Copies of this chain bind each other. A is one copy, B any other.
Amino acid sequence: VYSKQVPHPQQQRRPGERAGLTTEAVVGTARRLIHRDGSDALSMRRIAAELGVLPNALYSHVADKQALEDLLVDQLLGEIRWPTEGTWRERTLAVHRETRATLLSEPAIATVYVQRAGRGPNALRLAQRSLQMLDEIGLTGERAAQVFRVLIAHTVGFVAFELSRTHSDRAAAAALPPGTGLDGLAQSPGELEYALGLEWLIDGVLAWAKPQRARKASTG
């Protein structure tokens, strides 16, 4: 199951000599590794080997593997571009589709994100901006928080579901009993299903917000 690991750049230092590591270098190497080989292949020992240091050298720059994974997740969340133009509906659609696209651009990091929350600064910024947008259609306080949780759960949850099916799709489709009407069911949902669900949720949000709306805003 394992292919023998290549110990590429061997370290050549005596005790006390520095390798010049930084947290950024560790995170960067981790990202290259997880992008190339997947989340299962991300190990402290592999990162260390890639950097030419012993495994425990990493612990001078990150608390443990969980902390490192949280840094990877928040870095990725920071790459989500926030839409500035369009109606409320258009911008809401855009930011959620952009979130999905960003997560799918690094499936292995998204897998890590789905396993554990990881609420770094970028996650908080996104939440804050989402609340500001809900304020535009008259949603504030607990009601706004609820709608935020419905929408974010849909996007992140959908990606989680997608990722869990993407890989095993071909094998599963081939194993299906033919002629039972199940052809295509083993298929993973994608852009079409995601957009359908998101539109329906936004319809619901707008209808739910209506009785509360005081100020006027273009909802698309």
- Residues of A that sit less than 8 Å from B by CB: 111, 113-119, 124, 127-128, 131, 142, 145-146, 148-150, 152-154, 156-162, 164-165, 167-169, 172, 175-176, 180-182, 184-189, 192-194, 196-197, 199-201, 203-205, 208
Contact = CB atoms under 8 A, between A and B. Distances in A.
Which 9 residue pairs of A and B lie closest in terms of their CB atoms, listed nearest first? A157-B157, A200-B204, A149-B189, A160-B160, A157-B161, A153-B161, A117-B168, A150-B197, A149-B193
Contact of A193 (B153, B181, B182): B153
A199 B181 CA distance: 27
The quantity of this chain's copies bound in the complex is 2
A181 B205 CA distance: 20
Contacts of A181: 128, 131
A139 B135 CA distance: 37
Interface of A is mostly: helix
Nearest to A131: B181
B184 A124 contact: no
Contact of A128 (B146, B182, B203): B182
B158 A119 contact: no
A100 to B, nearest CB: 11
A196 B189 CA distance: 21
A116 B161 CA distance: 9
Contact of A204 (B111, B162, B194, B199): B199
Contacts of A131: 181-182, 185
